Every structure is written in structure tokens, then in C-alpha cells.
Amino acid sequence: VFRWRDGHYHFAPTESVDYDRENFVPMSADFILMEGIRMVDEWPIIERKIPSFDIVLRAAVEPSQIEVGAGGGEDGGLSGHGRSPASSAKIRLTLEEERIFRRVDGARTVQAIIDASGAGEFEVCRTLFDFLNRNIIAPVGRGEARATREKVVESIASATPGYIVTGLVVLLAIVGVLAQLGSPFAVTGLPPVLRRSYSLVLEAVAVSRLQRLDQALQAHHLATGTPARSLQDLVTRGLVDMRYLTDPWGRPYHYVPQASGYLLSGVDDVGRDKPGVVIERTLPAERP
């Protein structure tokens, strides 16, 4: 829904929502907004590697090289650089990542992998993006998934719970927003009900971009042996997108190379470092 550029919406307010309380936990409207902002922020990067759901993917490593463990991904953000799986004996994946990897068979399209996994579209594509960067999988072209009838049945059965959850979450979020709008405190002249929540979302995006820049700066140092001269170097090397050089308000991040590392921070409207949005990193000493 967050990727739609236009559409028609119909809200039907109700006093209560009946749902399976044993198997589903309601999500707050704030949480859904934050997830939506994160998706909008990261989708353009994912689409560089996965421009279409018709792409067919294959495994680029042997299943015997995969090791399931708690520490699969190297970090929580999208990485702009890859590394060869041959650099270590085993490739550690989380249980969720391993489930998605097993569905990459050289026949399924990205859409078929999403359907078969039963997970959300964004999370699956984000995991596939990470696999592509780590050279764990590779594209083989476009086309329909050449799945057997059993696989089709499996994909439909496993995808159904995901659609049910999504529908319930959206419905509960709508009810929550409408309930807030019906509050006696939502009077004319006051800020919108969700303005504070939206500000918190933007602050979270600003911190997320700062962390992404920090990861890219470390990757640059590992690849070149020297600190980046400026944040523009990260864009030149393809480690981050140009828009990551500024926060959601359009203010450029402050980067200062130092003798043993660097200082990276967000700034306020007058250019001062913002408390709590500062990273001071010490880089490993250069090899002789």
C-alpha cells in the first residue's frame, strides 16, 4: 500500500473490531506509520537490484555452505556493497533468511518466492536484496516461475496467513485513527492528531540514515584502506544513494575526518550538531 502513487480509499468506521485475539496482536497506528516510512525510504534502493517481480533468481552457493544461526545479517540496514561467500567456510543466515533462501531455486520468480514464503513483500525483497549483495544468489533472467502443481498449492496455502494478517493490521490501524479523530481533544485549531507521531517517524528516519552512512564509511575504509574524504565519496563508490547525504528535512549530515576515525552527526536548522544524533568512530589502524 505504501508504494501506491494513487488510489481510492473507503473507510468504514465501526465501534469495535472482532478478531482472533489468541493468534493476532493489534499494532498501533504509530508503528504502522514508522514501518511505512521505512519502506518508502528503502524501496528505491531495493529496486536497483530487484526492478521487477518477474526476475528469476538462483542460488549462487551450495546449500551445504549455509549455516542457520541467530546472527545471519551483518547489520540491520541495507548494505551497498557485496562480499564473496567464498571468504568464509560457512554463510550464517537467520532462520527466516534460510526459509527464503530455500525457495530460490532458479525457477521461481521474485513474486513466486514472496508467495511461497508467506512473509511480507517488503521483508522478502529486503532479504533477497541482501542475498544479491552478498553474492549468495544471482538473477537468471525474467519469466514465469516453472513451479510444479504441488509448489503452487504450497504457495497459496502459505501465503494466505500473510494476507489475513495484513488485512487485520490495516483494519485495526484505521479504527485506531478514527477513534483518535473522534476524541474531544481533536478540535479545530490544534495540530493534527498524528503530527507528533509523524515527527517521531522522521527523527527515526534521520537516525537510520546516519547509521547507514556510518556503515558505508566503514565499508569504504575496509575497501580502500583510507577514510572517505567526504560523504560524496560514498555516493561515487555506490555505497549509498545521494539522498542519504541529507536528513528527511533536507539538512546535510556533518562529516569530519579525524586522525584515527571520523565524526558523523545530524544538524539542526542553524547547523549545530544535534544531541543524540552523533557517531564518533575510531577506525582500525592501517596495515603496514
- For 146-180, how does the pLDDT look when each residue is reduced to its tens digit (9 = 90+)? 444 445 445 544 544 555 656 666 676 666 656 55
Report d(CA 133, CA 129) in Å as an integer: 6
Query: What stretch of H or E contains 267?
Result: strand 261-267
pTM of structure: 0.44
- Whether the CA torsion 15, 35, 76, 69 is positive or negative: it is positive
Q: Which residues contact 276 (CB under 8 A, 6 or more apart)?
A: none
Can you spell out the DSSP letters for 70-106? S--SS-SS--S----GGGSS-EEE-HHHHHHHTT--S
pLDDT, tens only, 194-233: 556 667 777 888 888 888 898 889 888 888 888 889 999 9
Q: Which three three-digit cell numbers place residue 3?
A: 508504494
Better-scored residue on pLDDT, 69 or 261: 261
Report d(CA 58, CA 146) in Å as an integer: 13
pLDDT at 243 over 90: no
Q: What is the CA radius of gyration of the chain?
A: 22
Average pLDDT, stretch 21-36?
A: 72
pLDDT at 128 over 90: yes
Query: What stretch of H or E contains 55?
Result: strand 55-59
pLDDT at 57 over 90: yes
Q: Where are the domains of the chain?
A: 29-149, 195-282
CATH number for the domain formed by residue range(s) 29-149: 1.10.10.10
